């Protein structure tokens, strides 16, 4: 018995291109690398401990930790505000 010969398909005919990245993907990857380097440098330069006043007391913490917590808190508040706004529109 003979097996049918398989004909190679041209790229774009059901098979994705392998190994080629678009200019947009390359720029995005480069941008992410630059952002990661900048964030790392930002963290390294903000290791100084600062005094923090809480509602029930005070303490010391590295500045970068306070910045990260503030950013995360802002992200959560923004998400909740957008979600509430979407609910009101419905």
Which is more confidently placed, 63 or 87?
Answer: 63
Q: Are 49 and 63 in contact (CB under 8 A)?
A: yes
Q: Are 70 and 60 in contact (CB under 8 A)?
A: no
Structure confidence at residue 7 (pLDDT)? 55
Distance separating the N- and C-terminal Cα atoms of the chain: 65
Contact (Cβ atoms closer than 8 angstroms) between residue 65 and residue 48 = no
Check whether 26 has a pLDDT greater than 80.
yes
Q: 18 falls in which pLDDT band (50, 70, 90)?
A: low
Given a cut of 90, is residue 13 above it in pLDDT? no
Q: Quote the pTM value.
A: 0.55
* 40-64 tens-digit pLDDT: 888 888 889 999 998 889 999 999 8
Rounded to whole angstroms, how far apart are CA atoms 74 and 2? 67
C-alpha 77/C-alpha 83 separation (Å) is: 10
């Amino acid at each position: 018995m003979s097996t049918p010969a398989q004909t190679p398909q041209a790229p774009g005919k059901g098979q994705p291109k392998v190994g080629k990245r678009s200019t947009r993907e390359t720029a995005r990857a480069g941008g992410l690398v630059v952002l990661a380097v900048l964030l790392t440098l930002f963290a390294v330069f903000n290791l100084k401990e600062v005094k923090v006043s809480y509602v029930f007391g005070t303490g010391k913490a590295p500045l970068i930790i306070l910045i990260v917590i503030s950013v995360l808190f802002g992200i959560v508040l923004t998400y909740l505000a957008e979600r509430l706004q979407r609910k009101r529109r419905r």
